[in-house]
Amino acid sequence: MKTSPIVLILMLGLVVSAGCAKPDWIQQTLVTTDVTGAWVGSLGKGGLGAEVRLDLDQQGQKVHGSLRSFVSSNYGFEFPNGPLEGTIQGDVFNFKMTNGGVTGELTVNGEEMQGYATTGGRTQMYLRRINSTAPSRSQ
């Protein structure tokens, strides 16, 4: 039995397009990093003497929680406090405060996170997990 040239061309097209396909949607949504819990650390290079705390609750890729900072008035700036929303993609945690003011991108490495928060300017953040329990809903 002979295969028609049109069928061969269609089959070749399917094989070639399969090689160029985008990654499976499951791969894109696979979450292997969990940031649930309490994280404490410092703002700025060398810490600036400013402490920051994130209390996070992760459900799949979505993260909800709060940011609290304890910035000394000696530094002449105020770092807002309040609720935040974010996402995890791979080992990167991106967030924004829901009341505006701060966005951030932190790379998670086990029990540590580091990266940047932006509020007018870009500020380094270094955090370490002190508790892996989700915060209560009242926070």
pLDDT, tens digit, for every residue of 81-95? 899 999 999 999 999
Residue 13 domain-assigned?
A: no
List the CATH number of the domain containing 102: 2.40.128.20
pLDDT in tens, 32-63: 799 999 999 988 765 555 789 999 999 999 99
Q: Which 8-state DSSP code applies to residue 2?
A: P
Q: Domain for residue 15, yes or no?
A: no
pTM for the model stands at 0.72
Is 55 domain-assigned? Answer: yes
Q: So what's the pLDDT on residue 111? A: 96
Confidence of residue 137 (pLDDT cuts 50, 70, 90): low
Which residues form the domain of 62? 29-131
**Is residue 81 a part of any domain in this protein?**
yes
pLDDT tens for each residue of 95-111: 999 988 789 999 999 99
User: Does residue 1 sit within a domain?
Assistant: no
Count of domains for the chain: 1
CB 54 within 8 A of CB 127: yes
